[in-house]
Amino acid sequence: MQHSPSSKRLVLVVEDETMLLTTTCDMLEDEGFEVLAAPDADAAINLLGSHGDEVGVLFTDVRMPGSMDGLELSRVVRERWPHIRILVTSGHIRAGSSALAGSRFVSKPYRLTQVSALLRQAMSEAAGDTEGAAAAVLQRAVASAR
């Protein structure tokens, strides 16, 4: 379930229900994604400490045990790793929640095709942002060289 990261196609899945975590990771791998798995937000932060540059998307449940829930995890990830796109899932909150600002939402139970499409879209956007950020750095370097 845990592969060596190689690109922004890496998805970090955070889910405290072991069976759902395993099933989701297996299905995403079958769809061609590289996957890291974490049972809670604390484990996710630890994984991001060593793989944050490679992760393209965080896919997290909202309700889970530990020092923070999925919404707080999303906030921390937006601050520390702004290049990571966030997909939040829950069976308890709805997409209109203001706590989801800056994240995409998919309600439980979700379909793999729905999640896979949202992940591909988020990764495509992340790749575009990376190219845009690189272009901005290059423009600043050229401007300062003049």
pLDDT digits (tens, 9 = 90+) for 50-71: 999 999 999 999 999 989 999 9
What is the structure's pLDDT at 27? Answer: 92
Residues 109-135 have a mean pLDDT of 76
Please state, in angstroms and rounded to a whole number, the distance separating the CA atoms of residues 40 and 50.
16
**Helical residues (DSSP H) of 4-111, grouped into ranges:** 18-30, 41-51, 70-80
What is the per-residue pLDDT for 10? 94
- pTM (two decimals): 0.78
Nearest-angstrom CA–CA distance, 90 and 68? 15
Look-up of token digits 């899945």: 13
